[in-house]
């Protein structure tokens, strides 16, 4: 095994394999060195644990970029194993999309709401009314920031529902929260900048920042929130430009950062000149109590960029999210949105507005909370006999499960896909690419019956691996 590790290390030193490049496959490395394939696989996995390599599901092993030591800190970051940056010119892939593209009958990987729970029939009649009300809607563009009428309505909504004072000019309608994260990653940070990111986190956010060659510094998230001393120490030492966070019914853990930490975080951000990017996609998907106010509520100095997705629980195909930012920050984001698509489609914005502000919407979301909760209960009941552990979430769409050591998530996924079941392996949610003892199961997409079937297959596949 040492032979293979030396071969990889010296290949990297010689420049044979540069950051972001793929190593020879397990098979060809085994042939090259005349050793067994399993020995190569073990060596690659050890190098991955050391932070030298990272793996892509079904795609092989790649060289991880290392952070260069800063002149004033001899050890720099090299010892921290934090480096997670793409090589320049390297086009990143969404690892979550790779998983979604696997054709299976029981996808527990989809953090989407079952279309059967969405108001499809009502919306199709409603679209006709919207077109009658706005006959020219298809003949024109939206403005770059988004339809002024919708932004005025959302500004009033934030004031009434959250006590947040945000002007329509400080709101940008984006094509889903995904676009908002991408715009932030391209406008507020530049290659080589440092960004704090939760560990674990929403996997496409890692991919987006990595694509910009940004250095990600993980911040552990637990059921109690963050270790604020650790966050402050990172802000002081590393001077990150921003902190990307999903503090409410977090994906994948379901955790919610407590109210008392929220205000303190905003104060820390102000003190250390670090923008908090608050991704709040699950705010309305709670089971008992509404969540605490967004961090944006506490922000008076423009240190929070707030991203709220709405279409996810109404009609995800509309792709309507809103990004709220104070003018100094919006100045950087708006031109990129103009370059990207000149503004989100106007028809989608009109359809969304007419539905979102109707009484029908309130009824829908209340029923939806009950239905999603029932599915969560079914999944938890089906998993109860495994002895695996997880924290039961108060909202959101996912369970974040800890597996016993003898069941690696990547191998379990292979076995599950063969049984037409999928889930998200923890490693793709980890900015360090580890967490192979964790899996994310989404309970919102499959019917109760299919959840029970999928979990049954999952348990059988795990038993197979154990034996
Ligand atoms: C934390 C988080 N952010 C952003 C998104 C993307 O949301 P949208 O569908 O609005 O692009 C998701 C979707 O699952 C998510 O979980």
Q: What is the CATH number of the domain that holds 433?
A: 3.90.1150.10
**Could you tell me if 63 and 86 lie in one domain?**
yes
In this structure, the residues whose C-beta lies within 6 A of any atom of ligand 1 are 111, 176-178, 202, 246, 251, 279, 281, 309, 312, 316, 321
Q: Ligand 1 center to residue 78 CA distance, Å?
A: 32
Mutation probe of ligand 1 site: the residue of 202, 254, 306 with most atoms within 8 A of C-beta: 202
**Could you tell me if 219 and 294 lie in one domain?**
yes
Q: Ligand 1 center to residue 281 CA distance, Å?
A: 6
Range 267-276 average pLDDT: 98
**Could you tell me if 453 and 381 lie in one domain?**
yes
**In the predicted structure, residue 79 carries a pLDDT above the cut 70:** no
**Could you tell me if 154 and 298 lie in one domain?**
yes
pLDDT in tens, 141-192: 999 999 999 999 999 999 999 999 999 999 999 999 999 999 999 999 998 9
**In the predicted structure, residue 87 carries a pLDDT above the cut 60:** no
Mutation probe of ligand 1 site: the residue of 109, 113, 177, 313 with most atoms within 8 A of C-beta: 177
What is the domain-level CATH number for residue 16?
1.10.10.10
Could you list the residue range(s) of the whole structural domain that residue 87 is in?
Answer: 2-95
* Residue of the CA atom closest to atom 7 of ligand 1: 177
Sign of the torsion angle spanned by Cα atoms 185, 188, 193, 194: negative
**Could you tell me if 292 and 391 lie in one domain?**
no
Q: What is the atom index within ligand 1 of the atom nearest the CA of 201?
A: 1
What is the domain-level CATH number for residue 266?
3.40.640.10
pLDDT confidence tier of residue 57, bands split at 50, 70 and 90: low
pLDDT confidence tier of residue 91, bands split at 50, 70 and 90: low
Mutation probe of ligand 1 site: the residue of 109, 176, 278, 280 with most atoms within 8 A of C-beta: 176
What integer pLDDT is reported at residue 16 of this predicted model?
84
- State which of 319, 343, 360 marks the end of a domain: 360
Q: What is the atom index within ligand 1 of the atom nearest the CA of 250?
A: 1
Q: What is the atom index within ligand 1 of the atom nearest the CA of 111?
A: 14
Q: What is the 3-state secondary structure (H, E, C) of the chain?
A: CHHHHHHHHHHHHHCCCCCCCECCCHHHHHHHHCCCHHHHHHHHHHHHHCCCEEEECCCEEEECCCCCCCCCCCCCCHHHCCCCCCCCCCCCCCHHHHHHCCCCCEECCCCCCCHHHCCHHHHHHHHHHHHHHCCCHHHCCCCCCCCHHHHHHHHHHHHHHHCCCCCHHHEEEEEHHHHHHHHHHHHCCCCCCEEEEEECCCHHHHHHHHHCCCEEEEEECECCECCHHHHHHHHHHHCCCEEEECCCCCCCCCCCCCHHHHHHHHHHHHHHCCEEEEECCCCCCECCCCCCCCHHHHCCCCCEEEEEECHHHCCHHHCEEEEECCHHHHHHHHHHHHHHHCCCCHHHHHHHHHHHCCHHHHHHHHHHHHHHHHHHHHHHHHHHHHCCECCCCCECCEEEEECCCCCCHHHHHHHHHHCCEECEEHHHHCCCCCCCCEEEEECCCCCHHHHHHHHHHHHHHHHHHHC
- State which of 360, 390, 416 marks the end of a domain: 360
- State which of 42, 62, 95 marks the end of a domain: 95
**Could you tell me if 151 and 288 lie in one domain?**
yes
**In the predicted structure, residue 81 carries a pLDDT above the cut 50:** no
% the chain with pLDDT above 70? 93
**Could you tell me if 308 and 431 lie in one domain?**
no
* Residue of the CA atom closest to atom 14 of ligand 1: 111
Mutation probe of ligand 1 site: the residue of 251, 253, 306 with most atoms within 8 A of C-beta: 251
pLDDT in tens, 355-370: 999 889 999 999 999 9
**Could you tell me if 229 and 298 lie in one domain?**
yes
Q: What is the mean pLDDT of the chain?
A: 90
What integer pLDDT is reported at residue 312 of this predicted model?
84
**Could you tell me if 214 and 351 lie in one domain?**
yes
* C-alpha–C-alpha distance, residues 5 and 9, integer Å: 6
**Could you tell me if 210 and 343 lie in one domain?**
yes
**Could you tell me if 233 and 351 lie in one domain?**
yes
**Could you tell me if 81 and 200 lie in one domain?**
no
What the block records as the tokens of 368 is 């939806």
Q: What is the atom index within ligand 1 of the atom nearest the CA of 316?
A: 9
Range 114-121 average pLDDT: 94
* C-alpha–C-alpha distance, residues 219 and 230, integer Å: 8
pLDDT in tens, 27-40: 889 888 888 888 88
Q: Ligand 1 center to residue 177 CA distance, Å?
A: 5
- Which of 77-81, 266-270, 309-313, 417-421 is predicted least confidently? 77-81
Count: domains in the chain: 3
């Amino acid at each position: 095994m040492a032979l293979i590790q030396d071969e990889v290390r010296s290949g990297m030193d010689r420049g044979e394999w540069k950051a972001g490049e793929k190593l020879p496959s397990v098979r060809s490395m085994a042939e090259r060195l005349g050793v067994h394939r399993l020995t190569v696989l073990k060596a690659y996995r050890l190098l991955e644990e050391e932070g030298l390599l990272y793996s892509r599901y079904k795609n092989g092993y790649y060289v991880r970029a290392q952070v260069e030591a800063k002149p004033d800190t001899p050890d720099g970051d090299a010892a921290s194993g934090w480096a997670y940056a793409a090589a320049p010119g390297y086009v990143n892939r969404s690892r979550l999309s790779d998983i979604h593209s696997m054709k299976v009958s029981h996808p527990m990987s989809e953090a989407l709401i079952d279309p059967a729970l969405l108001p499809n029939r009502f919306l199709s009649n409603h679209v006709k009314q919207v077109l009658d009300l706005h006959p020219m809607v298809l003949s024109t563009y939206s403005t770059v920031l988004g339809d002024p009428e919708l932004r005025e309505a959302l500004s009033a909504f934030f004031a009434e529902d959250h006590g947040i004072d945000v002007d329509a000019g400080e709101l940008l309608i984006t094509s889903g929260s995904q676009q908002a994260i991408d715009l932030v990653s391209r406008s507020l940070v530049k290659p080589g900048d440092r960004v704090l990111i939760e560990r674990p986190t929403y996997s496409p956010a890692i991919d987006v920042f990595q694509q910009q060659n940004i250095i990600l510094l993980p911040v552990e998230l637990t059921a109690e929130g963050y270790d604020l001393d650790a966050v402050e120490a990172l802000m002081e030492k590393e001077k990150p430009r921003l902190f990307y966070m999903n503090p409410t019914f977090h994906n994948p853990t379901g955790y919610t950062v407590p109210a008392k930490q929220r205000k303190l975080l905003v104060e820390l951000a102000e003190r250390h000149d670090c923008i908090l990017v608050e991704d709040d996609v699950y705010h309305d998907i709670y089971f008992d109590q509404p969540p605490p106010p967004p961090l944006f509520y506490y922000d008076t100095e423009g240190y929070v960029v707030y991203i709220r997705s709405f279409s996810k629980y109404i009609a995800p195909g509309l792709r309507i999210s809103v990004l709220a930012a104070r003018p100094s920050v919006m100045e950087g984001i708006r031109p990129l949105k103009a370059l990207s698509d000149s503004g989100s489609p106007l028809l989608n914005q009109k359809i969304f507005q007419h539905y979102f502000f109707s009484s029908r919407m309130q009824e829908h979301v209340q029923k939806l909370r009950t239905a999603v909760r029932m599915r969560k209960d079914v999944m938890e009941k089906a998993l109860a006999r495994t002895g695996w552990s997880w924290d039961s979430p108060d909202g959101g769409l996912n369970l974040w499960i800890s597996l016993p050591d003898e069941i690696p998530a990547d191998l379990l996924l292979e076995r599950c896909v063969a049984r037409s079941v999928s889930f998200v392996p923890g490693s793709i949610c980890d900015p360090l690419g580890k967490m192979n003892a964790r899996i994310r199961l989404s309970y919102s997409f499959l019917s109760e019956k299919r959840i029970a079937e999928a979990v049954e297959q999952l348990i059988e596949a795990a038993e197979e691996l154990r034996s």
